[in-house]
């Protein structure tokens, strides 16, 4: 069974940093692209970032480019999202997701709140 488990969400002040982790299990992690998608409270889904299977290709939404960094450790079956210079508008539930002709599996989500 595919499982994706996010961790690391917290309340952080504007300008602060946070690192999200996503532990994957139930599939051969290293052959799949992984994605991060976020959902502000009461709003729709927004794609954030992707990374290929070996970690050599990454892309970002314009809204987070230069502030967020995606990475992965295939030995630990884990994908990360390093978030710096956080803003109030980054407040959202962040989902880790597996890409297989588009996203097929989603984690349960983790809340990040940016507020003073």
Applying CB under 8 A, which residues contact another protein? Answer: 35, 44-47, 50, 59-62, 95, 99, 101-109
Of residues 65 and 76, the one with the C-beta less far from another protein: 65
Distance CA 67, CA 44 (A): 22
Of residues 10 and 57, the one with the C-beta less far from another protein: 57
User: 13, 32 in Cβ contact below 8 A?
Assistant: no
Of residues 59 and 115, the one with the C-beta less far from another protein: 59
CB of 41 to another protein, least distance (A): 12
Distance CA 33, CA 99 (A): 5
CB of 75 to another protein, least distance (A): 26
Of residues 16 and 105, the one with the C-beta less far from another protein: 105
Residue 101 burial by CB count (10 A; 0-12/13-18/19+): exposed, middle or buried?
exposed
CB of 104 to another protein, least distance (A): 5
What SS3 state is found at 90? helix
């Amino acid at each position: 069974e595919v499982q994706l488990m996010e961790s690391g969400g917290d309340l952080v002040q504007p300008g602060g940093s946070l690192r999200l982790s996503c532990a994957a299990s139930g599939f051969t992690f290293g052959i799949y692209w992984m994605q991060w998608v976020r959902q502000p409270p009461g709003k729709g889904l927004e794609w954030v970032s992707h990374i290929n299977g070996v970690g050599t290709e990454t892309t970002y939404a314009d809204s987070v480019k230069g502030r967020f960094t995606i990475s992965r450790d295939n030995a630990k079956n884990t994908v990360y999202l390093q978030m710096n210079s956080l803003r109030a508008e980054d407040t959202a539930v962040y989902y880790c997701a597996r890409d297989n002709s588009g996203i097929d599996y989603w984690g349960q989500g983790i809340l990040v709140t940016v507020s003073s």
